[in-house]
Structure 1
Amino acid sequence: MATLILFNKPFQVLCQFTDEKGTSNGDRRATLADWITTPNVYPAGRLDFDSEGLLLLTDDGQLQHRIASPRQKLAKIYWVQVEGEITETALNQLRGGVSLKDGKTRSADVSVMKAPDLWPRNPPVRYRESIPTSWIRIAITEGRNRQVRRMTAAVGFPTLRLVRYGIGDWNLDGLSPGESSTMTVHAPAPARNRPVRKPAKPSKQPSRRSPRS
């Protein structure tokens, strides 16, 4: 059995337990240690300093790999506020994959959504009356650095606020910023090496060579 923690990471919190660099003024930034006191748990994947929402932590290495590895294709769902009224053309570009500096993204499940009933962000998103905003739901199965932000920027709609709502079967429901929920789950079985196939034994069938004349 493994421990799994569902944590609603607040805005501007590092996805690690220590801040080795600090700010330019030498101040320490907020870290997971300010909220998570369970020993020997580690994040399964990451969430940017300026992003909010669901972060999973576990004490089991196999489960950590299963959640974080792009090869597992575990869907990650984001609620994204973008600048401007997003177009159907941009949505289709996101769905089909966007060419970034590190290659084209996989196809994504993307749709327009109503503004979710979220907690206030501190500091709030900059509001400009002359420029509208849109909310979209994006589900991806990759984990590139700042991927969602780069995707929306590439199609002409910069991200203003990004909240990760769900990972696989887990989501933020019932969790306010800084709150966590701990559960015990079955740890995945360790990967086993495939058996080595032995070479086939020579056939014992009689020879088909023609008899000597």
Structure 2
Amino acid sequence: MSEAKKKVTVLDYGSGNIRSAVRALEYAGAEVTLSAKAANVLECDGLFVPGVGAFAAVMKALREVGALQWIGRRIAGGRPVLGICVGHQVLFEEGVEHGIRTRGMGEWPGVVELLDAPVVPHMGWNTVTPPADSKLFAGIESERFYFVHSYAVQKWEFDVAQPKMKPPAVTWSEHGVPFVAGVENGPLSALQFHPEKSGEAGAQLLRNWLATL
């Protein structure tokens, strides 16, 4: 008897082309629902939060559909969430675009800022450097992934309040400067790149995530 498919909701709050995310998750073996309904967001095995465009616009859109509260409830309850691109960025404290500061969800300290690189946006395939204990990158540590972004968190300053707490696993990449390409923090994970556009390496990463649900 085959194992039941994990139920994943792709949060549909008006962010760009998300059909590719649905297809990639289905290819990886998930049962996928595209929805902005509270029941679907709260009751699924895993929540996939895409994000395309400006930090402030994504925060506004998430707030308008009530998703900030739902994401917070899932994290507090230990229910898995995976943020992608700007869906990764808004999990940090703050975003700065064109001199405008926008408060993020504040799950991790850090400021999303313009990359100090000769060419922006950072567009195309790039390598990453995951930590040894990464679950998402298990078996694909040397693969390339597809990035499209101009902004990123370039400083990681996370203080563990309790010595026995396990610190987040942080994956780095580089475009002009080093930047945070991924974070794994208990039920909450996030990626600056697009696994749904990263071919078989991206598919394997999604399988790795599904295996943790």
Mark yes or no: TM-score above 0.5: no
Structure number with higher relative contact order (C-alpha < 8 Å, ≥ 6 residues apart)? 1
**TM-score bin, normalised by smaller chain:** under 0.3
**Bigger-Rg structure (1/2):** 1
**TM-score, structure 1 normalization:** 0.24
**TM-score, structure 2 normalization:** 0.24
Structure with the higher strand share, 1 or 2:
2
